[in-house]
């Protein structure tokens, strides 16, 4: 702790200062002074107030429902936040159903005994999208993906690069390919084409309930409140 005249124009490595608002002795100052100091600390500290007690113990308080670990502001309590069939409580990914529509590799590669060069990836064998197969054949050597062995012999990492793509070489992968097509779902033929290669799967993060992810409780919800300083 240093005086303000000793700081000068230097900025600490953390990029912020902790300013002492007041020095209080418990039982000696009036409640009005303590409340005024706390309110000032919250106002100037962007909703954060830190109390340093003699002996080194530190208590940090947050205004509102803010997680002290990640700084996430939780919404006001509402019963609808705990209902998977409510727009407020439903998981933003699965929308409360507990399942999502995703790529079905079993449909995309129905015959795993075929190699990539033999047209194992069926959506890319159609004339309209054959250029995607040609692009994969061109970048496969640099990505360590063999194109002349059965698809079933590819490693998990190699299949992952085919599905997720490789931005470093400009390869969009299967997911990027279908994401680009989703922008044209207003066309009937595109919707039919997409439905051939996708299926519903359980949402991994929804725990089967379709509820929104639970937020960490804030300091005030743990029972720590500035009122305890009175």
Contact 136, 170 (CB under 8 A): no
Whether residues 116 and 191 fall in one domain: yes
Given this model, what pLDDT does residue 86 score?
A: 80
Averaged over 124-131, what is the pLDDT? 92
Q: Residue 63: inside a domain, yes or no?
A: yes
Whether residues 222 and 160 fall in one domain: no
Q: Residue 82: inside a domain, yes or no?
A: no
In 3D, which of 65, 88, 60 has the Cα closest to residue 76?
A: 65
The pTM of the full predicted model, rounded to 2 decimals, is 0.52
Percent of the chain with pLDDT over 90: 30
Q: Which stretch of 8-22, 136-150, 151-165 has the lowest confidence by average pLDDT?
A: 8-22
Q: Tally the domains of the chain.
A: 2
Reply yes or no on whether the pLDDT at 85 is more than 90: no
Q: Residue 27: inside a domain, yes or no?
A: yes
Q: Residue 47: inside a domain, yes or no?
A: yes
Whether residues 133 and 65 fall in one domain: no
Q: Residue 35: inside a domain, yes or no?
A: yes
Contact 151, 131 (CB under 8 A): no
Reply yes or no on whether the pLDDT at 15 is more than 80: no
Q: What is the CATH number of the domain that holds 127?
A: 1.10.8.280
Compute CA distances 201 → 76, 85, 100, 117, 164, whole Å. 32, 19, 5, 29, 17
Whether residues 8 and 66 fall in one domain: yes
Q: Residue 207: inside a domain, yes or no?
A: no
Q: Residue 96: inside a domain, yes or no?
A: no
Token reading at 166: 């490789």
The pLDDT tens digits for 87-120 are: 777 777 777 777 777 888 899 999 999 999 999 9
Given this model, what pLDDT does residue 130 score?
A: 92
Given this model, what pLDDT does residue 222 score?
A: 38
Whether residues 69 and 112 fall in one domain: no
Whether residues 176 and 112 fall in one domain: yes
Mean pLDDT value across the chain: 78
Reply yes or no on whether the pLDDT at 220 is more than 50: no
The Cα–Cα gap between 75 and 197 comes to 38
The pLDDT tens digits for 185-219 are: 888 998 999 889 888 777 765 444 444 554 433 33
Whether residues 126 and 65 fall in one domain: no
Q: Which stretch of 70-74, 106-110, 139-143 has the lowest confidence by average pLDDT?
A: 70-74
The Cα–Cα gap between 226 and 230 comes to 8
Given this model, what pLDDT does residue 200 score?
A: 78
192 lies in which domain range?
Answer: 105-196
Given this model, what pLDDT does residue 148 score?
A: 93
Whether residues 142 and 186 fall in one domain: yes
> Bigger pLDDT: 164 or 6?
164
H, E, C per residue of 170-208: CECHHHHHHHHHHCCCCCHHHHHHHHHCEEEEECCCCCC
């Amino acid at each position: 702790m240093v005086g303000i005249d000793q700081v000068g124009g230097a900025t600490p490595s953390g990029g912020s200062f902790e300013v002492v608002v007041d020095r209080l002795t418990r039982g000696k100052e009036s409640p009005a002074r303590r409340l005024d100091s706390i309110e000032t600390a919250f106002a100037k500290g962007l909703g954060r107030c830190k109390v340093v007690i003699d002996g080194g113990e530190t208590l940090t308080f947050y205004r509102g429902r803010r997680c002290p670990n990640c700084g996430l502001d939780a919404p006001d309590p509402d019963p609808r936040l705990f209902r998977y069939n409510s727009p407020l409580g439903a998981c933003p990914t699965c929308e409360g159903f507990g399942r999502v529509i995703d790529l079905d590799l079993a449909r995309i590669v129905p015959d795993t005994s075929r190699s990539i060069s033999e047209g194992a990836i069926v959506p890319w064998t159609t004339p309209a999208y054959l250029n995607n197969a040609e692009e994969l054949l061109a970048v496969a050597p640099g990505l360590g993906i063999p194109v002349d062995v059965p698809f079933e012999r590819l490693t998990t990492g190699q299949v992952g690069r085919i599905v997720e793509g490789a931005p470093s070489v400009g390869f969009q992968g299967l997911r990027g390919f279908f994401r680009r097509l989703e922008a044209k779902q207003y066309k009937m033929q595109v919707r039919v084409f997409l439905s051939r290669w996708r299926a519903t799967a359980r949402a991994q993060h929804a725990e089967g309930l379709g509820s929104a992810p639970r937020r960490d409780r804030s300091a005030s919800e743990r029972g720590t409140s500035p009122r305890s300083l009175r």
